[in-house]
Chains A and B, each alone.
Chain A
Amino acid sequence: MRLLLIEEDPQLCALIGHHVSCRWPEALISAHPPTRSGVIPDEFLAQGYDAVLLAQHWPGGEGLDWLHQLAGRKGFAPVIFLADAEPGSRLQESAMSWGAFAVTGRKRIAHRELIAAIESASLRQRRALADWRVSAQALESHRFGDARIPGYRRARLLARGSTSHLYLAESEKAGALVALKVTPSQRDESGADRSFERFLQEYQISERVQHPDIVRLYELGVADDHAYLAMEYFPLGDLRRRMTPGLSPLEALEIAEQLAEVLAAIHAAGILHRDLKPGNVMMRTAHQVALIDFGLAKQAALELDLTDKGLIFGTPHYMSPEQGHGRVVDERTDLYSLGILLYEMLTARKPYVADNPMTVLYLHANAPLPQLPEPLMELQPVLERLLAKSPGDRFADAAAAAAAIGAARRSWLERISGS
């Protein structure tokens, strides 16, 4: 039994969980607290669940509004509405007319009524899924380009790249929307699938570095000769989007500190990211980041370099002088990129801009260090330790950078709290 519980109150979640587990000891209940987890994306149909339990209300939200929205989606799992009102009330009638599969008590749980409702909902969902799985529509929904990938329902194409396409899909196994990266079948003369090797490397890195601020990877597989990688989907988008309305200095420092900490974790595992940029920093919540795309990441000790010799991969605007000039890089190259990010978060502009990439690389190596505007001058020393031209003048490692950024954040917080 697998249930999605949309309820804000953790104590009620525990109580409902207790009732359910008395009947189904192995039941899996995923809690979705609306104010913290946000709205459920339009593409989500909860097909990996037997039923969805939806609370009548929570601070700032009404379950009936959500019910109208969710139950109206074709193919959405049965919704059991958890009402505070007494049986037979108009609210219960409204819930049923708006598509609830059943209505039962939210706090005053009638055990047998709740269990019976879940059992019936589960039965209906399983029948509906069984019918759907053999439909032409289902077969088509498993198609991602030329590959047919069972267990994933395509929602839409997110991005088309030269080495892979990125889709939004719903995973039955994960019970969530995922970002599904699918490669074109791509083999070299030796028969090796270099795309798959890149995915494999990314997956291995994620497995090795157990840190909460790294993207969660769910599955790596091959279907119809295409490699695919299922990973966490971020409805809030990336840091670029987060920066658009502008970040306060405190927010910028919080994000930079988190990034320095996650860099410390991946460096401790002997890995360099080498492509740190706003597009590779996703927002899990408004204040929590997740680092993605280890496609360019390289184990410091790894002999095999998957990026072709002689070519420079990465984004010029965030590239360290040594990386831009093809010299040997170490973990301090990521600290330089972090410095560029911090500058951009603080000022809403990039420090080095030019018409062509080569000029940008030249500026990284030769232009004077960017200066923060007067109100931010107390942050200049930290920025300069990140953006030093010579790696030897930067912080010794990401942990030291995290400590310095953390100290600057606390100092900034004290100053604005006192003013």
Chain B
Amino acid sequence: MSDPRRQLLLELYTRLVLLPSAEQPAAAALCAENAGTSARWQGVLEEPPHESAVRIAHSLGIGPPGLQLWRASWSSEVQGVAPLTRLAMVAARLLAGREELLLLAARCGREPSPIGPGSQVAEGVLVDGNSCARMAVAGLDVETELSAGRGLALLEAAGDLLYGAGQATAAPQFLVIGLNMAVGELGARGSARLLGA
């Protein structure tokens, strides 16, 4: 039922966010190697979230199969998930129809919270090539909702919000992980093995 690529991104995020920054590239490279693919650190996103989304989507779309990772430090005038909502909504529209592309973006700080199943507070997003289609199935018009400032509702309806335990620091730091991998390429191997577990 579940897309194993989404699980891979979630598990990779969970693993990386618990490591010091200096150790993250090596850990990501190891994960990628286990997956039989590559991981490329693309540096720090300097632009605002919506402009970063364009750069990320372009890089993923033209790049080779594999993982791409960025860090960001958006000091938004609005705290919480607002920067991520902007990033995610632009990315979701740019990735639409590209089933091989996924993008996870989530907060990280010195005291990262666990993220994923069972958590309660939205602290990240995970969009893919079907996100906009799911929003439409939920009866939501993307443009209408965005113009009314309801991006978060769009992401919730599509099931694309990631929930944490609400213990992250207020530091506006983010980890962004993109994946270019066709559906089914990962299923047989399983994400646990890809992560070297």
Quick check: which of B16-24, B27-35, B75-83, B136-144 contacts chain A, the rest being far away? B136-144
> In the complex, which residues of chain A have a beta carbon less than 8 angstroms from the beta carbon of B139?
107-108
> In the complex, which residues of chain B have a beta carbon less than 8 angstroms from the beta carbon of A112?
120, 163
> In the complex, which residues of chain A have a beta carbon less than 8 angstroms from the beta carbon of B161?
111
Interface size, A (range): 20 to 34
Rounded to whole angstroms, the CA-CA distance of A112 and B118 in the bound complex is 10
Rounded to whole angstroms, the CA-CA distance of A11 and B139 in the bound complex is 11
> In the complex, which residues of chain B have a beta carbon less than 8 angstroms from the beta carbon of A107?
137-139, 157
- B1 near A29 with CB under 8 A, answer yes
Q: Known contacts A15-B134, A107-B139, A109-B159: does B1 contact A23 (CB below 8 Å)?
A: no
- B117 near A23 with CB under 8 A, answer yes
Q: Does A18 interact with chain B (Cβ within 8 Å)?
A: yes
> In the complex, which residues of chain A have a beta carbon less than 8 angstroms from the beta carbon of B134?
14-15, 18
Interface size, B (range): 20 to 34
- B159 near A27 with CB under 8 A, answer no
Q: Does B2 interact with chain A (Cβ within 8 Å)?
A: yes
Question: Which of the residues A9, A12, A28 comes within 8 Å of B1, measured between beta carbons?
Answer: A28
> In the complex, which residues of chain A have a beta carbon less than 8 angstroms from the beta carbon of B117?
22-25
> In the complex, which residues of chain A have a beta carbon less than 8 angstroms from the beta carbon of B3?
21
Query: In whole Å, how far is B197's beta carbon from the nearest beta carbon of chain A?
Result: 14
B131-169 toward A: CB 8 Å interface, digit per residue (1/0)? 001100111100000000000000011110101000000
Rounded to whole angstroms, the CA-CA distance of A347 and B1 in the bound complex is 47
Rounded to whole angstroms, the CA-CA distance of A20 and B6 in the bound complex is 13
- A20 near B1 with CB under 8 A, answer yes
Q: Does B42 interact with chain A (Cβ within 8 Å)?
A: no
Chain A residues 7-50 with CB under 8 Å of chain B are 9, 11-12, 14-15, 17-29
Secondary structure type dominating chain B contacts: loop
B152-191 toward A: CB 8 Å interface, digit per residue (1/0)? 0000111101010000000000000000000000000000
Query: In whole Å, how far is A2's beta carbon from the nearest beta carbon of chain B?
Result: 11
Rounded to whole angstroms, the CA-CA distance of A17 and B134 in the bound complex is 11
Q: Known contacts A24-B117, A25-B117: does B1 contact A17 (CB below 8 Å)?
A: yes
Q: Does B7 interact with chain A (Cβ within 8 Å)?
A: yes
In the complex, which residue of chain A has the Cβ closest to the Cβ of B126? Answer: A22
Q: Does A110 interact with chain B (Cβ within 8 Å)?
A: yes
Question: Which of the residues B7, B120, B133 comes within 8 Å of A25, measured between beta carbons?
Answer: B7
In the complex, which residue of chain B has the Cβ closest to the Cβ of A10? Answer: B137
> In the complex, which residues of chain B have a beta carbon less than 8 angstroms from the beta carbon of A19?
159
Query: In whole Å, how far is B97's beta carbon from the nearest beta carbon of chain A?
Result: 15
- A27 near B137 with CB under 8 A, answer no
- A111 near B159 with CB under 8 A, answer yes
- A27 near B2 with CB under 8 A, answer yes
B28-66 toward A: CB 8 Å interface, digit per residue (1/0)? 000000000000000000000000000000000000000
In the complex, which residue of chain B has the Cβ closest to the Cβ of A16? Answer: B159
In the complex, which residue of chain A has the Cβ closest to the Cβ of B118? Answer: A23
Rounded to whole angstroms, the CA-CA distance of A27 and B118 in the bound complex is 14
* 4 interchain residue pairs of minimum CB distance: A21-B2, A25-B2, A19-B159, A107-B139
Given contacts A12-B137, A22-B6, A107-B157, 17 further A-B contacts (CB under 8 A): A11-B133, A15-B158, A18-B159, A20-B1, A21-B3, A22-B159, A23-B118, A25-B2, A26-B1, A27-B2, A107-B139, A108-B139, A109-B157, A109-B159, A110-B156, A111-B156, A111-B159
Which B residues are within 8 Å of any A CB, using their own CB? Answer: 1-3, 6-7, 117-118, 120, 133-134, 137-140, 156-159, 161, 163
